[in-house]
Amino acid sequence: MNLRRVACLAAVLTAATLAPTAVAQEGPPTPKLSTAPSPLVGYAVVAILGGAIIGISLYPSKRQHTDL
């Protein structure tokens, strides 16, 4: 047998072996999220990260004598 025939046979056997497993699977689980999360948490994270970025940007560098 040549290599191409062996590869084709291996692909067919793999598909034939795994097909019953795929058919027997259940559908996706239903999400258990009863309430939507508060957007305030996201706003707080954005405010903290934004404040950190602005604070780091405004922090003076140590090379004032070369900045004109």
User: What is the model's pLDDT at position 63?
Assistant: 67
More confident residue, 53 or 61: 53
pLDDT greater than 60 at residue 68: no
Cα–Cα dist 60/52, whole Å = 14
Burial of 28 (0-12, 13-18, 19+ CB in 10 A): exposed
- The counts of H helices and E strands in the chain are 2, 0
Structure tokens at 19: 């097909």
pLDDT (tens digit per residue) in 3-60: 888 898 899 888 888 777 666 677 777 878 777 778 999 999 999 999 999 999 988 7
Q: Which amino acid is at 29?
A: P
What's the pLDDT score for residue 24? 67
φ, ψ for residue 18, nearest 5 deg: -90, -15
In this prediction, residue 67 carries a pLDDT of 56
